[in-house]
């Protein structure tokens, strides 16, 4: 397979090669980005905190409410919620 690619690359002009190189680079960046996103997703999934609004697992701790309970912020839809009661606090509507 590598030999075939090598032969193919040899037939390209410098411009074509650069174009090919850029595409390969972009593709590998995309794969890396997707892999990182998957890793992040896995990490948050393991925590088991799910946004009640959009069902994303991409939620981070966001201080405490007046009763001292942990609050979470969904990084996906920016909803703020209290995981223990699954209760929404629409802070995002007040702020944005």
Residue ranges binding Zn ion (CB under 5 A): 51, 53-54, 56, 74, 76-77, 79
At its nearest, how many Å lie between Zn ion and the CB of residue 52? 8
Bridge partners of 74, per DSSP, are 59
CA dihedral sign, ordered 43, 50, 80, 54: positive
At its nearest, how many Å lie between Zn ion and the CB of residue 4? 46
Nearer to Zn ion, 65 or 76 (CB): 76
Structure tokens at 55: 């069902």
User: What is the spatial distance between Cα 96 and Cα 76, in angstroms, rounded to a whole number?
Assistant: 15
For the chain, the first-to-last Cα distance in angstroms comes to: 53
Nearer to Zn ion, 23 or 92 (CB): 92
At its nearest, how many Å lie between Zn ion and the CB of residue 31? 26
Nearer to Zn ion, 20 or 52 (CB): 52
């Amino acid at each position: 397979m590598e030999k075939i690619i090598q032969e193919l690359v040899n037939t390209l002009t410098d411009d074509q090669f650069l174009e090919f190189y850029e595409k390969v680079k972009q593709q590998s960046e995309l794969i890396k980005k997707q892999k990182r996103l998957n890793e992040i997703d896995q990490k948050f999934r393991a925590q088991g905190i799910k946004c009640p609004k959009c069902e994303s697992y991409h939620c981070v701790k966001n201080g405490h409410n007046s009763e001292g309970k942990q609050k979470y912020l969904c990084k996906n839809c920016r909803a703020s919620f209290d995981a223990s009661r699954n209760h929404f606090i629409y802070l995002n509507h007040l702020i944005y």
